Amino acid sequence: MANQFQTGIVAEASVDACFLTLSIKAGNEPAVKSILASLPQVITEFTARYSDVNPHAVVAIGSEVWDRLYDTKPALLQAFPTLETPGVMPNTPVDLLLHIRSDRRDITHLLEEALYKPLSEYVDVVEEIFCFRFLESRDMTGFVDGTENPQGEDRLSVALVGDEDAEFVGGSYLHLQRYVHNMKKWSTQSLKEKEDTYGRTQDDNIEYASADKPLTAHTKRASIKNAQGQSLELLRQSLPYGGVKESGLMFASYCRTPDNFNLILKSMVDGDGHGHTDRMLQFTRAVTGQAFFAPSPQWLKTNG
């Protein structure tokens, strides 16, 4: 299985993470392309050295810079989705993402340095967001995050491109958004109102029965099925971030197709056609929105 996919895509949740987004300086595409080809080996050597704290990293290329770097393209790669409801989910494209994580902040930092250093002359930093596990894998709102994630081997089948796109087997479509929570407004709700907003209990993380779930509940709007009645799944690798002035969630999802994310986002924002949109969006707002593809390590090496 070596080199068939970037292990950071499907690895179990980490305690610490950094999302580093970059823009390529004009004219530096050839140099960046060559460096990207070398990064999988850097990651492999680093993860072997610090294996006791589970370091991982994903190198992903933005949808809107892809054609400037490579001659061939993943079959379904597209820009961050445009929705019927304007202004709610901004499209803020960047060129590159380094998604770096481990179970220790210092090790995450060292891996970030190792990956960024060779690129530093040729790129500008757009955002550098440090994240952490909060309590029992909860969002800053107090609710457990990632409850619906696939488990075991299902993580691979949900997140990784298969034979449907032979050149890009093992790659993954990645969507990244930074949400800023209005914690002052959130705190004015009663516990029951908060639980109704999510559609599950806070303390013991029990999802409401379908009949009891408000049509505006986050678990209702973000859990949808396709025409064949199958649930649209994502592998979420999200973590909270923030401090006393601002806090929120770095939402990161991996999937073998961008369609699942696009349809879930549409359900949340545009609703069900009867005015039922995701009530959670009254308490948080997206300030970034980006679409990427994370190729297999072997593909990066071969196309450098």
Q: Is 145 a catalytic residue?
A: yes
Rounded to an integer, what distance in angstroms lies between the CA atom of residue 249 and that of residue 247?
A: 7
* Rounded-to-integer distance, Cα 295 and Cα 304, Å: 12
Q: Give all strands (DSSP E) within the chain, no chain letters.
A: 16-24, 56-62, 96-102, 123-132, 172-181, 235-236, 239-242, 247-255, 284-286, 290-294
Residue 235, helix vs strand vs coil: strand
**Cα–Cα distance, 291 to 27 (Å, whole number):** 22
- C-alpha–C-alpha distance, residues 40 and 31, integer Å: 16
46 near 117, Cβ under 8 Å?
Answer: no
In the set 16, 95, 139, 145, the catalytic residue is 145
Q: Which residues are catalytic?
A: 145
